[in-house]
Chains A and B, each alone.
Chain A
């Protein structure tokens, strides 16, 4: 059995277990949901570990590697959310998003071994990607909860507060991802900012989440808050995967 086949099986198991865990959260079977979530996370983390050991560097090079790492981030973020705010009820959203992230992996190139070009051999590489993945995981969950907010009028207050808290945690990491990337870009390309397609969309995403945070603090603008959450996440998807699909070849950030 090749490494590609092993990771494919592990990714499939992780995705299915994350979905099973989400189903168990819906059925309010919390203990089993936690157990299944933990097994899914271990399976997911083992894919990251295989990629890491096989390549000898932190596996953030390809879209496949980054998406499998994103799956790991959801549960880590969930643990922090439980610890900070006792939001155990958000488990379903975190499990669902982890499952979706790993489902996305199936559309990517599953090659385990990736060459790391000289431009990616930088001290900024790991904090840049790690910050972004942590931030994206929280923003994705906030987006799902925003969509529920539009339809479920009974839970609006609870969901609105949770969305705000998630974005409040996501935003500094998104800022860190963007600015550490700028410091790296200055070292490797000689510019903090190159107006590259991916950079532009990341700035648009950041601005939309900035608008979310500001509008919530102004009585007249508060009605637009959830709209900015939706727009922010759509821009985030464009930054993360859209740019690579639409104009990846021309982007300085092009990778597979």
Chain B
């Protein structure tokens, strides 16, 4: 409880910084460079330390399971995000439907090449529109040849259904019906699973904490 004041002050400072930066950043692109930087990493690092101090200095009690899950989950989420911040990468790639063409390398925006460790191509693409011609459905048939193998592996790629291959998560981002250009995104993120586990820890923790009997007693104080 004695660390709560420090935690509240840090949270208030983070909220104020977030609010000021959000108000002064006119677009999402600018906003990303404002927030995803080392200054924010340091603030959030201090916040993590305070969270851990809060969790580990108090007397352990199984009744506080929600509290532990929530606060450790928050730290784990920030650790997972940090792992992506230092080592993750997103590479946009444009392809067209070509039955016999596959790619083993992709190009970053600075023109450097990345060897995927597998060959990938798009053999078919389904596209449906609403009567007003707005997009209704996209689906790309992807063919993959793993290194040293001539056996094709076909996978379905959807807007909400990315595929994973050799550490890459591949997303279907958009499609141009005029040019036939299919926008994909290749992403590497070693912090993905820590983030997913953290999200479920926070969710379970917050429901346990807010609906606990202890919290109910607090309402009467």
Give the residue of A165, A201, A216 whose beta carbon is less than 8 angstroms from that of B22. A201
Give the residue of A122, A191, A217 whose beta carbon is less than 8 angstroms from that of B1. A217
What band does the interface of chain B fall in when counting residues whose beta carbon is under 8 Å from A? 35 or more
Contacts of A169 in B (CB 8 A): 210-211
Q: Mark B175-203, 1 if CB is under 8 A from A, else 0.
A: 00000000001010000100110010011
Contacts of A118 in B (CB 8 A): 135-138, 158-160
A218 near B135: Cβ-Cβ < 8 Å: no
Contacts of B19 in A (CB 8 A): 204, 235
Given A115-B136, A175-B203, A187-B160, answer yes or no on A220-B5 (Cβ-Cβ < 8 Å). Answer: yes
B11 near A214: Cβ-Cβ < 8 Å: yes
B15 near A211: Cβ-Cβ < 8 Å: yes
Asked if B31 is at the interface of the complex by the 8 Å CB criterion, the answer is yes
Give bound CA distance, A247 to B203, whole Å: 30
Contacts of B137 in A (CB 8 A): 118, 121
B218 near A197: Cβ-Cβ < 8 Å: no
Contacts of A252 in B (CB 8 A): 28
B28 near A196: Cβ-Cβ < 8 Å: yes
Contacts of A218 in B (CB 8 A): 1, 4-5, 8
Contacts of B211 in A (CB 8 A): 168-169, 172
Which residue of chain A is the closest to B36 with respect to CB atoms?
A195
Count of inter-chain pairs, beta carbons less than 8 A: 135
B22 near A211: Cβ-Cβ < 8 Å: no
What distance in Å separates the Cβ of B48 from its nearest Cβ neighbour in chain A? 15
Give bound CA distance, A136 to B14, whole Å: 23
Contacts of B14 in A (CB 8 A): 207
Give bound CA distance, A187 to B8, whole Å: 33
Given A118-B135, A171-B210, A221-B5, answer yes or no on A204-B81 (Cβ-Cβ < 8 Å). Answer: no
Asked if A194 is at the interface of the complex by the 8 Å CB criterion, the answer is yes
What distance in Å separates the Cβ of B146 from its nearest Cβ neighbour in chain A? 23
A176 near B28: Cβ-Cβ < 8 Å: no
Contacts of A122 in B (CB 8 A): 160
What distance in Å separates the Cβ of A196 from its nearest Cβ neighbour in chain B? 5
Contacts of A208 in B (CB 8 A): 15
What distance in Å separates the Cβ of B39 from its nearest Cβ neighbour in chain A? 14
What distance in Å separates the Cβ of A222 from its nearest Cβ neighbour in chain B? 10
Interface segment among A18-26, A46-54, A140-148, A178-186: the answer is A178-186
Given A118-B160, A207-B14, answer yes or no on A194-B28 (Cβ-Cβ < 8 Å). Answer: yes
Asked if A192 is at the interface of the complex by the 8 Å CB criterion, the answer is yes
Contacts of A171 in B (CB 8 A): 206, 210
B5 near A168: Cβ-Cβ < 8 Å: no
Q: Chain B: interface secondary structure?
A: helix
Contacts of A251 in B (CB 8 A): 28
Asked if B32 is at the interface of the complex by the 8 Å CB criterion, the answer is yes
Contacts of B130 in A (CB 8 A): 115
What distance in Å separates the Cβ of A252 from its nearest Cβ neighbour in chain B? 6
What distance in Å separates the Cβ of A134 from its nearest Cβ neighbour in chain B? 13
Q: Mark A160-172, 1 if CB is under 8 A from B, else 0.
A: 0100110011011
Given A165-B219, A200-B18, A211-B12, answer yes or no on A121-B210 (Cβ-Cβ < 8 Å). Answer: no
Which residue of chain A is the closest to B172 with respect to CB atoms?
A118
A161 near B220: Cβ-Cβ < 8 Å: yes
Given A214-B7, A218-B5, A218-B8, answer yes or no on A207-B15 (Cβ-Cβ < 8 Å). Answer: yes
Which residue of chain A is the closest to B218 with respect to CB atoms?
A217
A210 near B134: Cβ-Cβ < 8 Å: no
Asked if B103 is at the interface of the complex by the 8 Å CB criterion, the answer is no
B32 near A194: Cβ-Cβ < 8 Å: yes
Asked if B169 is at the interface of the complex by the 8 Å CB criterion, the answer is yes
Interface residues of B, Cβ cutoff 8 Å to A: 1, 4-5, 7-8, 11-12, 14-15, 18-19, 21-22, 26-28, 31-32, 34-36, 81, 90, 130, 132, 134-138, 158-162, 169, 171, 185, 187, 192, 195-196, 199, 202-203, 206-207, 209-211, 215, 218-220
Q: What are 10 A-B contacts with C-beta separation under 8 Å?
A: A117-B136, A119-B160, A171-B210, A175-B203, A179-B203, A195-B32, A200-B21, A211-B12, A214-B7, A214-B11
A117-B136, A214-B7 given. 14 additional CB < 8 A pairs?
A: A118-B138, A121-B160, A122-B160, A183-B199, A187-B161, A194-B32, A195-B28, A197-B28, A201-B22, A204-B22, A211-B12, A214-B11, A216-B218, A221-B4
Of all A-B residue pairs in the complex, the 8 with the closest CB atoms, nearest first, are A118-B159, A200-B22, A122-B160, A207-B15, A115-B130, A195-B35, A172-B206, A195-B31
